[in-house]
Amino acid sequence: MGGYAAFVWPAFGIAALVMVTLLMTSLRGLRSNQAALDALEQDIAPRRRRPRQKGSNHDA
């Protein structure tokens, strides 16, 4: 590369590193949030099905 390889390859390498890292961290964040949301929705579903107690204030 006419003596310029030490500048050209790091330029492409750093661009690739930044873009791949951003993509990976974004995907990891999505998976983590999605898993937490799924777990929360599963936890909430049994609470919705729980019957009301007799004689509670809700019956007034």
Partner 1 sequence: MNVMHRFANPTRFLRLARVIQPWSMAVALVAIVAGLVWGLVYAPVDYQQGDTVRIMFVHVPAAWMALFIYGIMAVASAVGLIWRHAVADLAAKASAPIGAAFTVICLVTGSLWGQPMWGTWWVWDARLTSMLILLFLYIGYMALWQAFDDPQKAARAAAILALVGTINLPIIKFSVDWWNTLHQPASVLTLAGPKIHASLLWPLLFMAIGFKAYFISVLMIRMRSELAARRIRGLRLAYAAADTGR
- Interacting residue ranges for partner 1, rule: CB under 8 A: 1-2, 4-5, 7-8, 10-12, 14-15, 18-19, 22-23, 26-27, 29-30, 33-34, 36-37, 40-41, 44, 47
Report, in Å, the least distance between residue 29 CB and partner 1.
Answer: 5
- Alpha carbon distances (Å) from 32 to 10, 11, 23, 26, 41: 32, 32, 14, 10, 14
Minimum Å distance from CB 57 to partner 1?
9
C-alpha span between 58 and 60 (Å, rounded)? 6
At closest approach, how far in Å is the CB of 19 from partner 1? 7
